[in-house]
C-alpha cells in the first residue's frame, strides 16, 4: 500500500496528507521562488491532486510568472502565514508541496528521488547543484 506523509504550517491550522511518491522534485532557483520562500531556492514536490488531502483554513494569493505570464496560486495559512505550496496554470490537476513543510521533511531526499536543479541562471553564486549533478538554466526540457 502507498505510504502517507503528513505536513502543515507552523501553527497547525493548515494540514495536509499526501499518498504515494512525488512525481518529481524541483530545486528551483527562479526569482519568484526566492521571493515567495524568502530564501535562495525552493524544494518543490509535485503531486497529482488526487494524492493530496488538505484540511483547515486556506488563504490563496494569485501571482503571475515573469517568464510566461501564467498564473501561480500560493496556498498559505491565514493565521501563521506559512506557504505550503502552490498550484499552477501550467500543470492542471497537480500541485506543488514545499518539502520543508512535511512533518518529516527528510523523506524528500536525493537518495530516494531525482532532484532537478532548475533556473540556475538566477541562482545565487554560492547556491549550486552538488558536484557532478546536472543543472538547468531554466526549466527541464523534456
Ligand atoms: Zn498556521
Ligand atoms: Zn521557481
Give residue-wise pLDDT tens across range 69-110.
899 999 999 999 999 999 999 999 999 999 999 999 999 999
109 contact partners, CB below 8 Å, separation of at least 6: none
pLDDT in tens, 71-82: 999 999 999 999
Q: Is it the case that residue 142 has pLDDT exceeding 80? A: no
- Mean pLDDT of the residues in the chain: 94
**Other beta carbons less than 10 A from residue 60's beta carbon:** 11
Per the structure, the count of domains in the chain is 1
Expressed in angstroms and rounded, the spacing between residue 15 Cα and the centre of ligand 1 is: 9
Question: What does pTM read for this prediction?
Answer: 0.93
Instruction: Report how far ligand 1's centroid is from the alpha carbon of 92 (Å).
Output: 26
In a domain, 138, yes or no: no
| Residue 7 contacts residue 30 (beta carbons within 8 Å) | no
CA distance 81 to 27: 22
Nearest in space to 5 (alpha carbons), one of 17, 22, 23, 21: 17
Give the number of whichever ligand sits closest to the CA of residue 66.
Answer: 2
Sheet containing 4-8: give its strands across.
4-8, 14-19, 52-56
Answer whether residue 76 is part of any domain.
Answer: yes
Radius of gyration of the chain (CA): 15
pLDDT at position 12:
97
Mean pLDDT of 9-28: 97
**Ligand nearest, relative to CA of residue 74:** 2
Residue 23 lies in a domain: yes
Residue 37 placed within a domain: yes
DSSP 68: T
Distance 38 CA to ligand 2 centre (A): 12
Give 1 Cα–ligand 2 centroid separation in angstroms: 32
- Ligand 1 centre distance from Cα of residue 141 (Å): 36
Q: Residue 46 sits in which domain range?
A: 4-122
Ligand 1 centroid to residue 103 C-alpha, Å? 13
Instruction: Find the mean pLDDT for residues 41-51.
Output: 97
Residue 85 belongs to a domain = yes
**Locate cell 525552493: which residue?**
42
On whether residue 42 sits in a domain, the answer given is yes
Q: What is the CATH number of the domain that holds 62?
A: 2.170.150.70
Could you say which ligand is closest to the alpha carbon of residue 7?
A: 1
Reduced to 3 states (helix: H, G, I; strand: E, B; else coil), residue 15 is: strand
The answer to the question of residue 29 being in a domain is yes
Amino acid at each position: 500500500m502507498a505510504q502517507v506523509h503528513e505536513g502543515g504550517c507552523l501553527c497547525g491550522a493548515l494540514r495536509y496528507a499526501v499518498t504515494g511518491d512525488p512525481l518529481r522534485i524541483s530545486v528551483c532557483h527562479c526569482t519568484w521562488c526566492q521571493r515567495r520562500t524568502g530564501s535562495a531556492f525552493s524544494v518543490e514536490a509535485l503531486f497529482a491532486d488526487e494524492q493530496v488531502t488538505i484540511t483547515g483554513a486556506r488563504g490563496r494569493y494569485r501571482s503571475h510568472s515573469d517568464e510566461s505570464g501564467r498564473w501561480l496560486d500560493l496556498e498559505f495559512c491565514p493565521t501563521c502565514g506559512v506557504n505550503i505550496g502552490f498550484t499552477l496554470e501550467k500543470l492542471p490537476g497537480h500541485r506543488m508541496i514545499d518539502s520543508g513543510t512535511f512533518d518529516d521533511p527528510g523523506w524528500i531526499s536525493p537518495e530516494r528521488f531525482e532532484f532537478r536543479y532548475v533556473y540556475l541562471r538566477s541562482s545565487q553564486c554560492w547556491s549550486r547543484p552538488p558536484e557532478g549533478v546536472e543543472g538547468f538554466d531554466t526549466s527541464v526540457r523534456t
